[in-house]
Amino acid sequence: EKDDFTVEKGLEAALAKGRGEVLAIPMFVSTSNHSAVEIPEKLGIDMATREGVRVGTRIRYSTEIGLEPGMVDLLEAEYRDLAQ
């Protein structure tokens, strides 16, 4: 069930795929304690490198999606489309 989803369960599911690398993308519009401290700790991420290793799998941690270049433009375009 959706409400039962946790970072730990997501990591477990990703590791179960047996791939050599996982990219974790925090789906937040800005940086918070949750995205900058709590989640990286649960994933085993070293924030100096934004990487970690679990069970032989490299885990990379991107910046919050809201901080990505172009996101503001995308949201403004969506707003304009909805406002018409």
Q: pTM value?
A: 0.79
Beta strand 21-24 with 57-61: parallel, antiparallel or unpaired?
Answer: parallel
Question: In the beta sheet, which residues pair with residue 23?
Answer: 60
Residue 29 burial (CB < 10 Å; 0-12/13-18/19+)?
A: middle
Structure tokens at 33: 């304690």
- Return the closest-CA partner of residue 50 out of 58, 41, 60: 60
pLDDT, tens digit, 9 for 90 and up, residues 14-63: 999 999 999 999 999 899 999 999 999 999 999 999 999 999 999 999 99
The one-letter amino acid code at 67 reads L
